[in-house]
Amino acid sequence: MPTDPEPDPDSARDEWHDVQANDARLELARQEAASKADTGWPFDQNHSEADLAHRRDETIGRLREIGVRPTGFTCDECPSRYCCDLAFDAYNTDGDCLADK
């Protein structure tokens, strides 16, 4: 009758380290998710008027390149525009808001 080979202590240690590394990655992901929830992500930025004007102009330029002339950005009147990562996205025109989706 064949006997089971002796367990390799190095293999068991490597598996344990893999488990620990995976646990560390999961914990980091949990911490990042909690951090984003605490800051109101995607509303965790602090954009200046100059940043917003630059984003707006860039988006208008990209839209014009494809033949679209936006009539207005929803973000222009939004109080969250200073902290929103999605401010002045091409979707945010004529009352539509990507952050609401």
Beta-carbon contacts of 98 under 8 Å, excluding residues fewer than 6 positions away, are 86, 89, 91, 92
Which residues are registered as beta bridge partners of 93? Answer: 73
Query: What integer pLDDT is reported at residue 53 of this predicted model?
Result: 94
**Rounded distance, CA 46 to CA 65, Å?**
29
Q: Are 56 and 73 in contact (CB under 8 A)?
A: yes
Instruction: Determine the pLDDT at residue 93.
Output: 86
Q: What is the pLDDT along the chain (101 residues), one digit of tens a residue?
A: 566 666 666 666 666 555 665 565 555 545 555 554 454 445 667 889 999 999 999 999 988 888 888 788 999 999 999 988 889 988 888 888 988 87
pTM higher than 0.85, yes or no?
no
CA 33 to chain centre: 10
Selection from 47, 59, 40 nearest residue 83 by Cα: 47
